[in-house]
Structure 1
């Protein structure tokens, strides 16, 4: 036995001794051997030979390649790709376009340009994404605001295969693309234009299917908010008439470009999409540290892989032309499968679809202390983060900016905690800062110590359907406690259909729409002749400003009043939830939401096993914070520096003014006779 043990020890020492450092420098020659004095030219040269314990030091420069590790590391000896010292390293999925020639006025063209990614084709000017030629123009340079036109709503001017509008420019739009967002505003779609009738001002496309998401929900058949949908048209050379626009003629292999401010593109960096991925990891225990990634996705299938201290910019940019459903799997970081993968202390910024996806075959993954902002500009069912796997943990992140929903967590036994989620539902509607659906099967997902705020759908077309925590169709088994929701326009909490066995404790809801609208909304219609019902949910120790508690509907103004959720016939346990006509907590930046001294919140809560443990005083406090307890603040705890690009600061917003200046507080006490604590 002693000989065997010594033999194993010798093997372990040998592996350690043979772990190597490799160097990569883009300015090197192809004959490099990976040493510091004679480095490899490409990262892939190192990726082809690295083994467990090896480290690849990448020197400053732009590397236009995809990293695909050939071997796996081990848990104790991962394979590491990192920057050399503090060098700025960019791994890019793009290629440069040069030799521009003037085409017409401020429009330039470049010939012999290969753009083979179809819906994934993009043009970047000094690392900023440009706009495919469109009408009407994106006048404010903001993809979220749409700058669209309403379709004609007169009978006969629209159908499931055409739309009309008298302002459409009169040139042949055949082969172009229509972007459409219906009156319900829950999900956009795009279609190839199959024909154009100039006399009728009409655009034709392949007939939409009657099934969801099209059918009666997201198509011209739906009349809501006074219209039948908005649209804009893209991808015709004749529409190229404004700065930031481009058009690619795939037959002639010619790219046309109107640069910002009409500048000569020869004097700037212009790049086009060349590959979809910047990294593909199908191995285990690969670490990416301190790197910058541009224009492509990081895709992971494996175990123990880690991305840290990295910036991913424009990682998932695409159109969704002729999509059959409402979602895509593209994301700046896509972890398809595997356990114990992690994303930590990274910045993910800008994308038309998803920021982070943890697929249904992931387990025990961690997303921690990241900044994820400005995704889902296109308005489909995409999120800043979606987690579908079991036991995943999403902790201490800052999420900002989405056309529709903010974040989604649906995997069993997962945790979403100490995150800051804001500025969602920018152009869409009928969604939430936290949004999920289910199958009326409890998931045991804990949602705690988060801030959710700033959800206001675009009232020009979408109506007021932007909520805080949205436990949509049949969501079940969410334990929601010690969260704060404020400055949303459509309920702080929403249940739908057979949403059951959710537990809602010690949350603070404030300024969640007009004071005549309820804190909690439900939608309980008949489906297949079966009456759905929100039931077996428990709500304790929650607080809000003064408003109706609960409103349920099925299209006929069915309403749940206080007798139902407090009486013997109640479907849910609703107890010790209180409302206030004056702010009972602090509104200063460093103690926001902490109970004021002598606040009526103090010691007035019910004790709840595991939820209110460690409380101060005689009993737990009401709401999300405990007077005298530790003050918690969600979101990242670091300042992003030393990346290739400046990080936008939207994620730092708090919106204290929307708490202090609650326009409904003065009117609230007149609406309800007794909602203040005695």
Structure 2
């Protein structure tokens, strides 16, 4: 069996999780398994007997991992063949699109002007001009070019057959940026003190630039800190406030993001960094090799968002094949993405690249729990996008319903290191209902969960995803929180999770590094997952009795853990009580070199943590005394 796991790791897991190639076409092919089993969706499919399994049992189970999750259905068919936890099929509202009129944008065409009619011969020069004239059932086709602007849709569509579409022309490379290039205005920075411990002033070169010539349009991120209005969960120690009090603006040099420092004197110790003066109107930079910025491409990120309506609640908008970069947005909450549905519903975001967002790349929900929720939230489709280099959260949404998130590649999220705000993740959705998250690859996350479903989720299914290399996280691969109704986590591969360092005013100890966490949630089906190399439990349950969600506290009961494979995890299953089910799971003995009697984590044992003291059980005791995993 171990031979086959290692082959799977070499052939499937390593290329997906540990390759830094962004080959999107190969990614898509990997993520298109066949349709789901109805029996699996109800959590009733029985597996092989629980034992130290043979190689063929592992092979069959692994093939099922990649074979039952379901592939995307063609537009207009509606049915997906995938059942939700309540037994109903997930049905899409999407229909084939035909447009009554097409506008064109081409800023490289010498005849382009926003005073033009927007035809192919006389195109607009900006996308935002098209956004002001588009009507329901119309589209804009954008030609190759770099567009430094904020696109502010004025209208939405009126139905699934009357959408408004923003799309790149076939084969075009369309890049929309929230930054401005600054070539001139740089001068040596000599007025501030470097401090006694760094190199002498003559040994380094720091440059400064005033920002008065930039058109901030009322939003200067170099004068605004990262924190926004809702600080209810922010209880840091003073030294943990640093990332929250840095400025939102970002600086890129030759495509590489500079690190922001808190004090000017830190520039003496760090190349590739910048510092903002108190008023946000002067920045100081030290480039790698002490280079002169006048000889490089320097981009200053000044926009909060790149594609977002100002009018909330616009519906039936499609965004297709466009690359978005550079958003100087703040830490959620509110969730204000570089690309934002602005509380609208029935959006399609597909085949796009979203990267270099200070906080959130994409938001598709109600944005803010301090606002009255819209009558209809979500009903969106997010597919085949590549989201990367994001400070806090890749995809965010509150109150999201009937939404499909599939075949996305999300990576390099969480570098702001603010997990204690509890809004970090590759995907972070609140209060989902009837949602399907499938066939996504989420990798290379730091201080962030792979997929986080937060608070009163109902009949949502997370299936066929590959999640790995989530390091330094207080959670892990998938985190289901405070949900009393059935949800399902199945056919996922979760590989490598390490614990976060804890902290906060309550001196939270280091913890996390779990594969799947079920926190104060009931009736969850966790089935047919392959989980390996987690620092702590492959599947962790916590009761959270004192948190009143809806009308009661959490119980963490009636959950089913069925037909999973555990490989080299600190623990296998950690139940918070005995009122749960484990059946048909496969365990390995290859847990490492732990021999110390007082060291229980690292042996792959099953735990029952409450009532204290915790019981730490091998498979034989697990079966004999509690009746778990007998089949």
TM-score where L is the length of structure 1: 0.58
Cα distance in 2 for residues equivalent to 1:421 and 1:108: 42
How far is 1:549 from its partner? 4.0
Measure the CA separation in 2 of the matches of 1:162 and 1:379.
12
Aligned to 2:286: 258
Distance across 2 between alignment mates of 1:375 and 1:71:
32
**1:164-183 superposed matches below 5 A:** 178-179=239-240
Matches within 5 A, 1:426-441: 426-429=471-474, 431-438=475-482, 441=484
Distance 1:374 1:555, change over 3 A: farther
Q: Which moved more, 1:29-38 or 1:299-308?
A: 29-38
CA contact (8 A) 1:332 1:351 kept: no
Equivalent in 413, 431, 448 of residue 404 of structure 1 = 448
Given candidates 419, 444, 461, the residue that maps to 2:465 is: 419
Contact 1:390 1:414 in 2 (8 A): yes
What are the superposed Cα offsets for residues 115-162 of structure 1, whole Å, 9 maximum, x if unpaired?
A: 71258779xxxxxxxxxxxxxxxxxxxxxxxxxxxxxxxxxxxxx998
Alignment of 1:176-575 (within 5 A): 178-179=239-240, 190=244, 234-241=261-268, 242-251=270-279, 253-281=281-309, 282-296=313-327, 297-300=338-341, 301-315=343-357, 317-318=358-359, 330-336=360-366, 338-360=377-399, 362-377=400-415, 378-380=417-419, 381=422, 382-388=424-430, 389-402=432-445, 403-410=447-454, 411-424=457-470, 426-429=471-474, 431-438=475-482, 441=484, 443-457=485-499, 465-472=512-519, 474-497=520-543, 498-513=555-570, 518-522=571-575, 534-546=577-589, 547=603, 549-553=605-609, 557-559=613-615, 561=617, 574-575=628-629
Cα distance in 2 for partners of 1:396, 1:18 equals 30
Superposition CA RMSD, Å: 3.2
Instruction: Check the 8 A contact 1:19/1:51 in 2, yes or no.
Output: no
SS in 1 for 2:537: coil
Distance 1:84 1:521, change over 3 A: same
Q: Which residue of 2 aligns with 1:39?
A: 123
Asked if the contact 1:57–1:82 (Cα under 8 Å) also holds between the matched residues in 2, the reply is yes
How far did 1:80 drift? 1.1
1:394–1:415 Cα contact (<8 Å) kept:
yes
Higher relative contact order structure (alpha carbons within 8 Å, sequence separation ≥ 6): 2
Alignment TM-score, normalising by the size of structure 2: 0.63
Alignment check: 8 A CA contact 1:179 1:233 kept: no
Residue 379 of structure 1 and its aligned partner are, at CA, apart by: 3.5
Q: How far did 1:457 drift?
A: 3.3
Q: d(CA) in 1 for partners of 2:623 and 2:144?
A: 65
How much has 1:454 moved relative to structure 2?
0.9
* Residues 179 and 464 of structure 1, relative CA distance in 2, 3 Å threshold: closer
Render the CA deviation track for 1:163-214: whole Å, top value 9, x for unaligned. Answer: 7xxxxxxxxxxxxxx446xxxxxxx974689xxxxxxxxxxxxxxxxxxxxx
Answer 1 or 2: which has greater helix percent. Answer: 2
Query: Aligned pairs, how many?
Result: 431
Secondary structure at the aligned position of 1:456 is classed as strand
Q: Which moved more, 1:257-266 or 1:485-494?
A: 257-266
The answer for unaligned runs of 5 or more in structure 2 is 1-96, 191-203, 227-234, 248-258, 328-337, 367-375, 504-508, 544-554, 590-602
Q: How far apart are the structure 1 equivalents of 2:173 and 2:606?
A: 53
> Which position in structure 1 is the counterpart of 2:189?
103
- Structure 1 distance, partners of 2:164, 2:100, is 10
Distance 1:45 1:536, change over 3 A: same
Give the one of 221, 230, 243 matched to 1:117. 221
Deviation at 1:540, TM superposition (A): 0.6
3-state secondary structure, aligned to 1:338: coil
User: For the residues of structure 1 that align with 2:122 and 2:346, how far apart are their CA atoms?
Assistant: 31
CA distance in 1, matches of 2:404, 2:429: 10
- Provide the rounded CA distance (Å) in 1 between the counterparts of 2:587 and 2:222: 49
Deviation readout 1:60-94 (Å, 9 max, x if unpaired): 22222222222222311321111123221111122
Secondary structure of 2:405's aligned partner: strand
Please tell me whether the aligned partners of residues 120 and 273 of structure 1 are also in contact (alpha carbons under 8 angstroms): no
* C-alpha displacement of 1:522: 4.4
- Cα offset, 1:252, TM superposition: 7.3
**Which residue of structure 1 lines up, in the alignment, with residue 230 of structure 2?**
none
- Counterparts in 2 of 1:120 and 1:84: CA distance versus 1, 3 Å: farther
Gaps of 5+ in 1: 1-15, 123-159, 164-177, 181-187, 194-231, 319-329, 524-533, 577-605, 607-678
2:125 match: secondary structure: coil
1:220-245 Cα distance to aligned partner (Å, 9 max, x none) = xxxxxxxxxxxx99422222222211
Preserved contact between residue 569 and residue 604 of structure 2 (Cα < 8 Å): no
CA distance in 2, matches of 1:398, 1:265: 37
Distance 1:554 1:536 in 2: 11
Secondary structure of 1:261's partner?
helix
Q: Does structure 2 retain, via aligned residues, the 8 Å contact 1:179–1:191?
A: no
- Picking from 125, 150, 155, the partner of 1:71 is 155
Distance 1:555 1:263, change over 3 A: farther
| Cα offsets for 1:503-551 (capped at 9, x unmatched) | 11100011102xxxx422245xxxxxxxxxx243111100112356422
Verify the 8 A CA contact 1:97 1:110 in the aligned structure 2.
no
Would the aligned equivalents of 1:121 and 1:272 in 2 still touch at CA under 8 Å?
no
